[in-house]
Amino acid sequence: MRCPRCGSESVRRSSRVGGYERLISAFYRYPFRCQRCAHRFRALHWGHRYPHPSGERRDYERVVVRLRARLTAGTESAEAETTDVSITGCAVRTSAQFPPGTEVRVTLHLGPGRTVEIAEAVVRAAREGRVSLQFVHIGVDEQRRLAEYVNAVALPIDVGRPARRARLPLEVVLAGIAGLLVIFLILSMMTRVGTPAR
């Protein structure tokens, strides 16, 4: 499956939002999220059922990458190293103790002279020196830099594959068919009304 916006095959099934998406998933139409351009779209995946996960379903794939990081909570700071990263969160290994719910500032070192500052992140889980973080507030430029890094380093590059033209959404196609049927019925009724009785 390809992203209709950028043509990338780096697409991940997204969580359903609201009753409408739950309803259309009964007809194999599911939401997806492009990992390259962050576009969220719905697509028909006929005959494929997605199990309901017992835990968290992330919209973004976390990719394994080792980066130096610094976590700051209040006046205390700790060195860390990422084990995986996405544009919405990461996991790090650190000797410091950060209980779940702790708000921290995160600095990720992408390379020489290249850093990304996450103004606010929340510790979602902490166990045996491993801390999982969800990014809560990150500046637009910082998020763009992080997304470019993840896309360039961690995601597969779709080389030599031109982006396919975007398909019409199923809802538009069904609405068009319904409209044609209504027009056909109206024309049929007008023809019968205008025909003289024998």
Exposed e or buried b per residue across 122-141, where buried means at least 16 C-beta atoms within 10 angstroms of its C-beta:
bbeebeeeebbbbbeebeee
Instruction: Tell me the CATH class for 71-154.
Output: mainly beta
Classify strands 68-73 and 29-34 as parallel, antiparallel or unpaired: unpaired
In whole angstroms, give the CA distance from residue 145 to residue 180. 48
In whole angstroms, give the CA distance from residue 96 to residue 77. 9
pLDDT of residue 161: 46
Question: Cβ atoms within 10 A of the Cβ of 150, count?
Answer: 21
Task: Split the chain (198 residues) into runs of 10 and give each run's mean pLDDT.
Answer: 82 85 87 81 84 56 86 93 90 93 94 91 93 91 84 57 54 81 86 64
Q: Hey, where are the domains in the chain?
A: 1-59, 71-154
Q: What is the largest CA-CA distance in the chain?
A: 96
pLDDT of residue 121: 95
Residues 6+ apart with CB under 8 A from 78: 70, 71, 72, 94, 95, 96, 98
Residues 6+ apart with CB under 8 A from 15: 31, 57, 59
pLDDT of residue 184: 86
pLDDT of residue 52: 57
Q: Which residue has the tokens 């005959």?
A: 47
pLDDT of residue 159: 43
pLDDT of residue 117: 95
Tell me the pTM: 0.56
